[in-house]
Amino acid sequence: MAKLSWVVGQEIWFFKELPRAMSLAKELIDELPRSAHGRVIVAERLTSAKGRFDRKWFAEKGGLWLALSLYNEILPQHFGLFSLLFGLAMVRACHELSAKEVKLKWISDPHFRGKKLGGTLIERYKDWFIVGLGLNINNEPPEGLPAESLKRLIRREIPLTTALNLLLKWINYYYDALLSYERKFFEGDGASCPIIEDFYHLSDTIGRCVAFSYNLDEEEFIVGKVHDILPDGSLLLKVEGDLLSFNSGEVIYLF
């Protein structure tokens, strides 16, 4: 990997405990906007963490819990690629920590044989993206949930600073790749996107029979086979002979 000038992580704030890191990220944008682009907030524990649709997220000590702010400079047609890059970064970090069997489930869920290791939540705030990331490192996931931790996978404790540095390295790598792809897109280069290329290598979603819905908790789902991923990061699902594309939503692997 070529040496990068890091955008994400130029400024890092550490806390023992916070209610929700994403809320603080928004406050700091208003209070300290000049250094907000790439700012990272890390907490050892979150007491009111939330996932998509306000689902409770267990963020106890031992995990890696962070929020970052990025100024919105991404083309609207590439928001799907922006979402994908964080999941890819988590999988790459897991692989470097010796958990080579971790795969990415579309859009951005790293998992091991169906057990979730982490997740991403992206919110818009004014002209900014707020990205919340959680990765189970040394913490014990709650009983009864399909979740896993890296410590249990590789059977040893992992220094959280090591995990954080690896995650930030790969976030910066893919963020830089996305910006480079957009520059070539403007120039009419026609180059392929490294984010899509790596999705093919790091994800096990394509070819799966899945249940899909925007919100699997509250909406009816459709069943189909994942045919492909489109250049904008959308999922291409084959349902009863028809090909349907979706740029956001959730999937459950059926087989």
Query: pLDDT tens digits for 201-215?
Result: 999 999 999 999 988
Rounded mean pLDDT of 75-86?
95
| Same-domain status, 81 and 51 | yes
| Same-domain status, 108 and 167 | yes
For residue 220, give both structure tokens: 């009816």
Structure confidence by residue, pLDDT tens digits, 119-148: 999 999 999 999 999 999 999 998 888 999
Q: Which domain holds residue 120?
A: 12-186
- The per-residue pLDDT of the chain, averaged, comes to 94
Quick one: pLDDT band at residue 3, thresholds 50, 70, 90? very low
Q: What is the CATH number of the domain that holds 142?
A: 3.30.930.10
What single-letter amino acid sits at 38? G
Last residue of a domain, one of 159, 186, 213: 186
pLDDT at 55 over 80: no
Decide: helix, strand or coil at residue 120.
strand
| Same-domain status, 66 and 31 | yes
Decide: helix, strand or coil at residue 12.
strand
Q: What integer pLDDT is reported at residue 50 of this predicted model?
A: 80
- Upstream peptide bond of 222 is cis (omega within 30 degrees of 0): no
pTM over 0.75: yes
| Same-domain status, 56 and 18 | yes
Dihedral sign (CA 190, 194, 200, 204): negative
Structure confidence by residue, pLDDT tens digits, 20-47: 999 999 999 999 999 999 999 999 999 9
d(CA 255, CA 248): 21
| Same-domain status, 73 and 147 | yes
| Same-domain status, 37 and 109 | yes
Residue 98 within any structural domain of the chain: yes
For 208, phi then psi, to 5°, come to -80, 150
Q: What integer pLDDT is reported at residue 4 of this predicted model?
A: 56
Domain total in the chain:
2
| Same-domain status, 93 and 217 | no
pLDDT at 191 over 80: no
Structure confidence by residue, pLDDT tens digits, 152-162: 999 999 999 99
Rg, C-alpha atoms of the chain: 18
Structure confidence by residue, pLDDT tens digits, 103-122: 999 999 999 999 999 999 99
Rounded mean pLDDT of 192-207?
96
22 to each of 69, 112, 171, 187, 228, how far by Cα in Å? Answer: 9, 26, 17, 35, 32
